[in-house]
């Protein structure tokens, strides 16, 4: 499968795991990879279609957050910088996905985002790349939790959403 913003071959051979799982501490949405606890537990039992569906949700939610905070003014420059800094990416990755890869791996070493073909959108222009990365990650977590609450949280007998 090949779909917008991802390379299906790469996605089927990898896990979204970011190496900082919080589901073992009771979180219903992992603070590292943003998968739901049941997806983390069942990942190795998923077929390719189920894994692709999870990947698509993760990429769409993350890209939505990135696009609301950073504009890619020069995708070629961004790709060149990723290559220069040896940050792996797929040609088919969306510009927002490339931005996230760059911020995730290099935000603490970056100066001006314009050197990477990027422009922070208002009101985020004054944030450092590291602060912007942390804000995006926090907003991505909140959006993932809201998605879980809407589609997976089961109400109890009183109608209150529980685990």
Percent of the chain clearing pLDDT 70 (strictly above) = 87
pLDDT in tens, 54-84: 999 999 999 999 999 999 999 999 999 999 9
pLDDT higher at 159 or 26: 26
Q: Yes or no: say if 93 and 6 are a contact pair by the CB < 8 Å rule.
A: yes
The pTM for the full model equals 0.85
Report residue 153 as tokens. Answer: 């949280």
The residues, any chain, with a CB within 8 Å of residue 49's CB and separated by 6 or more, are 1
pLDDT in tens, 29-51: 999 999 999 999 999 999 999 99
């Amino acid at each position: 499968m090949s779909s917008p913003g991802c390379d299906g071959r790469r996605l089927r051979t990898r896990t979204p795991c970011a190496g900082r799982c919080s589901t073992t501490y009771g979180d219903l949405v992992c603070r590292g990879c943003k998968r739901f606890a049941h997806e983390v537990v069942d990942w190795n039992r998923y077929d390719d279609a189920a894994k692709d569906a999870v990947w698509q949700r993760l990429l769409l939610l993350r890209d939505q957050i990135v696009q609301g905070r950073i504009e890619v003014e020069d995708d070629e420059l961004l790709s060149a910088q990723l290559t220069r800094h040896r940050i792996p990416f797929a040609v088919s990755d969306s510009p927002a996905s490339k931005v996230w890869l760059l911020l995730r791996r290099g935000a603490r070493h970056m100066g001006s985002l314009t050197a990477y073909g990027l422009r922070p959108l208002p009101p985020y222009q004054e944030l450092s790349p590291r602060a912007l990365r942390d804000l995006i990650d926090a907003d991505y977590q909140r959006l993932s939790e809201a998605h879980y609450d809407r589609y997976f949280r089961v109400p109890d007998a009183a109608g209150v959403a529980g685990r």
